[in-house]
């Protein structure tokens, strides 16, 4: 990401204005353009540029998975060999029940897991099956820095959940 273009003040305003979603009206980008005091063409161009640069990942109908019945989510965490981490991370990221898959740093001795994969299911049995499937794939590269090679942290309570919220610019 070396040639990443910085976010301009106008783009920042755009993000602040749209991070809670597009207005549901026939001409949503007109509504945004009006508020930004720019043309519709400019608004569409900004959106496209943010998409091309990866600042916007996708434009989507973002469902509340919990409401649709995906009430079980598990953050599975794994201690895998560092030299195989990218190769196996890619395999896990491709599984269709994995929503997010990341490498994160270990903090020994408190935290020895370097691979994170979020899984979602409609019931506990399905969640268990998914976990077993990941374990099977990772079986050759699992290791134990401190006794356990993996852990599944089921959520017991959702305390706060919002999309990206940039703070208003500090003066």
Partner 1 sequence: MKISTLAQQLINTYQRGFPLCSRPFLQLAEQFNVSENEVINCLEQLEQSGVLSRLGAVFNHQQAGASTLAALKVSAQKLDKIAAIVTSFTGVNHNYAREHEYNLWFVITASDQSQLEQTIVAIEQATQYQVLVLPMEKSFHIDLAFTIDFEHENKQNAAVKNNATLRVDSLIDQGIKV
Which of positions 70-129 make contact with partner 1 (CB under 8 A)? 71, 73, 75, 85-86, 89-90, 92-94, 96-105, 107, 110-111, 116, 118, 120, 122-123
- 62 lies in the binding site for partner 1 (CB under 8 A): yes
Q: Which of 2, 139, 162, 171 binds partner 1 (CB under 8 A)?
A: 162
Measured from the CB of residue 111, what is the shortest distance to partner 1 in angstroms? 6
As a whole number of angstroms, the distance between CA 79 and CA 142 comes to 6
* Residues in Cβ contact with 115 at an 8 Å cutoff, skipping those fewer than 6 apart: 77, 78, 79, 80, 85, 88, 89, 92, 101, 102, 103, 104, 138
Measured from the CB atom, the residue of 132 and 153 that comes closer to partner 1 is 153
Count CA within 13 A, CB hemisphere, residue 122.
3
Measured from the CB atom, the residue of 30 and 135 that comes closer to partner 1 is 30
Question: CA-CA-CA-CA torsion for 87, 92, 105, 110, nearest 10 degrees?
Answer: -130
Measured from the CB atom, the residue of 68 and 139 that comes closer to partner 1 is 68
Q: Which of residues 2-21 bind partner 1 (CB under 8 A)?
A: 4, 7, 15, 18-21
């Amino acid at each position: 990401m070396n040639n990443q273009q910085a976010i301009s003040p106008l783009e920042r305003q755009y993000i602040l204005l749209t991070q809670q979603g597009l207005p549901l009206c026939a001409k949503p980008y007109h509504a945004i353009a009006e508020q930004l005091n720019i043309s519709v063409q400019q608004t569409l161009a900004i959106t496209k540029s943010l998409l091309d640069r990866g600042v916007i990942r996708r434009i989507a109908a973002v469902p509340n998975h919990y409401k649709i019945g995906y009430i079980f989510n598990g953050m599975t965490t794994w201690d895998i060999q560092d030299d195989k981490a990218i190769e196996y991370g890619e395999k896990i990221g491709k599984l269709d029940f994995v929503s997010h898959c990341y490498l994160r740093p270990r903090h020994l001795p408190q935290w020895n897991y370097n691979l994170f994969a979020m899984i979602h299911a409609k019931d506990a049995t399905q969640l268990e099956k998914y976990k077993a499937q990941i374990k099977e794939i990772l079986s050759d590269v699992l290791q134990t820095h401190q006794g356990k090679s993996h852990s599944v942290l089921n959520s017991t309570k959702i305390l706060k959940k919002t999309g990206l919220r940039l703070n208003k610019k500090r003066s």
